[in-house]
């Protein structure tokens, strides 16, 4: 199969191969959490129509005039940076782009007409935004009683924090994760990174859509689904929450140490800032580790014979392991340990992951050509089906690339009606800057990592 947007990855399944073929999704999301949810649905074969207002497109398209160089291929933003930003282009696969301003003449009518022909609408705005725009669940269900509306607010639509805005970092702290990460002698909590909660929320929202579709298959009715991002993440640390409730104890952060494995650490390897991770869970793995290290004396030592003993003497054990890992490359060390039955892995950087032959062989990494960003390796998703495999078929869309396809082809608008929408600024083929140039470079939409800010405008 070939398309006007570039060649699909080698071995890509046919267009109709996904289990969600025939399902149409309106995507009003921005940044990472929402776009990953809809990207997952597109991966499964759904037709996803990304609706982006000309004056406020998806924040992950970046700045109109270009942003951090590392966001662009060859560090070059090009003439249209918003079509080249790696953040958007890794979450936009297989989507159609419709540029539509709901607050300008005719915009709301177009969206409502689209909702009549759609199965799902996904948004990650703050609570109440969809209702204020006239496209809340009750509004859409009056036109299409089978539609499923999924909202992804930061803290839910009820309670004292319902109006709070959220980003991955702030929600990670709010859900309790940050209290569990760090080192015992460090008073400051440590975050996992910029936005680990976003992909967690995205996958939870995709699962919610599938659940709602299954329910609709049984009773024929759509529904309203809420996926609060903080709640979606809290269950990942459920055992720690329960421990606190039952014992009144809060586990102290201990770096890479865990209570059920020792040694459990990232060890220095030969090379510049190279590391290999080793995790020894039981006695058999411990003896195997000692065999690889060539240290039978460690295996015979009584104080290391049990997990409890190894936990009590982690520092000296780690010195012994590090003395061995420092003499080998991280991959050589990991391979030797794995061959002996000891869980281990090299700490790979992005370049190494992108070149990993195993990830290419299994189909997780695919090469795809984008009309303005060029040919690059893109990551897939961590699930593959046998009979209906799904997968990446098209690169992320250019801004407004499918305006005519959706407006004329799907909705049946006349050339005159489309021309009027363009004249009113309701539809545009390129983003529109709504601030004077003197105020400096403008981001296309708000904070790039913010998954829960207001509605389109």
- Cα 284 to Cα 305, 397, 450, distances in angstroms: 10, 52, 46
Q: Which residues pair with 370 in a beta bridge?
A: 374
Strand extents, DSSP E, 344-388: 344-346, 365-370, 374-379
Chain center to CA of 32 = 5
Task: Identify the active-site residue in 27, 58, 119, 198.
Answer: 198
Burial of 19 (0-12, 13-18, 19+ CB in 10 A): middle
Residue 68: both structure tokens together: 């951090």
| Residues 50 and 403 sit within 8 Å (Cβ to Cβ) | no
Sign of the Cα pseudo-torsion (54, 59, 61, 64, in order) = positive
- Please indicate whether residue 198 is annotated as part of the active site: yes
> Virtual CA dihedral for 295, 301, 306, 311, nearest 10 degrees?
-80
DSSP states of 140-154 = HHTT-TT-EEEE--S
**Strands 47-52 and 24-27, sheet pairing:** parallel
DSSP states of 60-87 = GG-BTT---GGGSGGG---S-GGGT-HH
Say how far apart CA 143 and CA 145 lie, in whole Å: 6
Helix (H) or strand (E) holding 225: strand 223-226
| Residues 170 and 245 sit within 8 Å (Cβ to Cβ) | no
Three-state SS for 165? coil
Active site residues: 198
């Amino acid at each position: 199969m070939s398309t006007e947007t570039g060649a699909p990855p080698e071995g890509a399944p046919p267009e109709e191969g996904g289990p969600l073929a025939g399902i149409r999704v309106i995507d009003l999301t921005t940044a990472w959490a929402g776009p990953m949810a809809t990207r997952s649905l597109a991966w499964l074969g759904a037709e996803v129509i990304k609706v982006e207002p000309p004056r406020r497109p998806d924040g992950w398209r970046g700045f109109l005039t270009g942003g951090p160089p590392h966001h662009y291929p060859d560090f070059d933003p090009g003439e249209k940076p918003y079509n080249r930003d790696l953040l958007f282009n890794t979450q936009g696969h297989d989507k159609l782009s419709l540029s539509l301003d709901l607050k300008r003449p005719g915009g709301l009518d177009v969206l409502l007409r689209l909702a009549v022909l759609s199965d799902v609408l996904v948004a990650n705005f703050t609570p109440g935004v969809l209702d204020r725009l006239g496209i809340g669940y009750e509004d859409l269900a009056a036109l299409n009683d089978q539609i499923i509306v999924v909202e992804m607010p930061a803290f839910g639509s009820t309670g004292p924090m319902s109006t709070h805005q959220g980003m991955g970092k702030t929600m990670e702290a709010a859900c309790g994760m940050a209290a569990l990460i760090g080192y015992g002698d460090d008073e400051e909590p440590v975050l996992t990174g910029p936005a680990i909660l976003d992909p967690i929320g995205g996958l939870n929202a995709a699962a919610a859509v599938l659940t709602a579709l299954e329910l609709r298959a049984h009773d024929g009715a759509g529904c309203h689904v809420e996926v609060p991002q903080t709640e979606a993440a809290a269950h990942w640390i459920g055992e720690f929450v329960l421990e606190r409730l039952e014992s009144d104890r809060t586990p102290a952060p201990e770096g890479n140490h865990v209570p059920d494995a020792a040694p459990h650490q990232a060890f220095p390897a030969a090379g510049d800032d190279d590391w290999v991770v080793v995790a020894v869970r039981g006695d058999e793995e411990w003896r195997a580790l000692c065999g690889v290290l060539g240290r039978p004396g460690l295996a015979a030592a009584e104080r290391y014979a049990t997990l409890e003993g190894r936990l009590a003497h982690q520092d000296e054990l780690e010195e012994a392991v590090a003395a061995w890992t420092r003499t080998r490359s991280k991959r050589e060390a990991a391979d030797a340990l794995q061959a002996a039955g000891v869980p281990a892995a090299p700490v790979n950087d992005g370049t190494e992951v992108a070149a990993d032959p195993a990830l290419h062989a299994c189909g997780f990494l695919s090469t795809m050509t984008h009309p303005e960003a060029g040919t690059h390796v893109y990551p897939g998703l961590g699930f593959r089906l046998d009979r209906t495999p799904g997968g990446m078929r098209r690169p992320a869309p250019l801004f407004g690339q499918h305006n005519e396809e959706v407006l004329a082809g799907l909705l049946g608008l006349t050339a005159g009606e489309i021309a009027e929408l363009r004249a009113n600024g309701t539809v545009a083929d390129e983003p529109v800057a709504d601030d004077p140039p003197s105020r400096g470079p403008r981001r296309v939409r708000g904070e790039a990592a913010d998954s829960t800010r207001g509605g389109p405008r």
